Amino acid sequence: MKQVLITLSILFISSLTYSQCRGFVKQNCEPSLGVYIPTGQLNYTEISPGSKSEFMLTFYKGQDYRIVACADPILTNVHFTVRDANRTLIFDSLGQTDLEFDFKVATTQKLIISLIAEELENPSEEEIEGCVSAMVGFKY
């Protein structure tokens, strides 16, 4: 019985965390897509300072794309990069205030989007995790 309760608690907490992350994405990232329609490639997760999360996505020729990155304010200095499939850097939002990138692709191809949360300047002993998201929208 105790084990069942523990399992249920873990599931509830996990669900709550993702729910909070979704709420955060919906409130903070989705509006930045503007007229771009979400591609449905759902890209949000929780990361800790000093780590990164990567998404490999397909982008089609002829579409206009917007990538919007956003992160929980608890994670300071979050930026994102866009690389081609050979990891050649195409874009880095480091130092930019707007975490948005509008583009088209030369031909249909895969791109790797990395969300990077830098180490905190004054790391606390408590383990910190925050929601990060890279939403991709398109228009045609």
Partner 1 sequence: MFRNQLYPLIIALILFSGCDNSETQKENDNLHQNKSETSQEKKHKNISDEKIPAIYFGVPSPMETTIILKNSGAQFEESIMFPLENHQKELGQSKTAIYLGIYSTDLNYCILSSKKEETLEELSAVINLAKEIHLGSVVNESTKDRIELNLNNKDSMQVIIASTFWKMETVMKENDRSNLSSLIVAGGWIEGLYLACELAKINPDNSVIQQIIADQKYTISNLNELLKSYAFDAEINESIVVPLKYLEKIFDQIKKEEYEETNSKNKEFSDDLIIGKYFKLKFTPEIISSIHNSIESIRNDLNN
- For 66, phi then psi, to 5°, come to -130, 130
Among 3, 86, 97, 124, binds partner 1 (CB under 8 A): 86
124 is a site residue for partner 1 (CB under 8 A): no
Q: What is the total count of residues that contact partner 1 (CB under 8 A)? A: 62
In terms of C-beta density within 10 A (0-12 exposed, 13-18 middle, 19 or more buried), how is residue 30 classed? middle
- Which of 80, 86, 56 minimizes the C-alpha distance to 67? 80
- Which of 30, 35, 31, 33 minimizes the C-alpha distance to 140? 35
129 is a site residue for partner 1 (CB under 8 A): no
Q: How far apart are the first and last CA of the chain?
A: 55
116 is a site residue for partner 1 (CB under 8 A): yes
Among 6, 8, 74, 89, binds partner 1 (CB under 8 A): 89
Say how far apart CA 25 and CA 132 lie, in whole Å.
8
Among 7, 27, 34, 62, binds partner 1 (CB under 8 A): 62
74 is a site residue for partner 1 (CB under 8 A): no
Residues that bind partner 1 in the complex, under the rule CB under 8 A? 11, 14-15, 18-19, 22, 37-43, 45, 47, 50-64, 81-92, 94, 102-112, 114, 116-119, 136, 138, 140
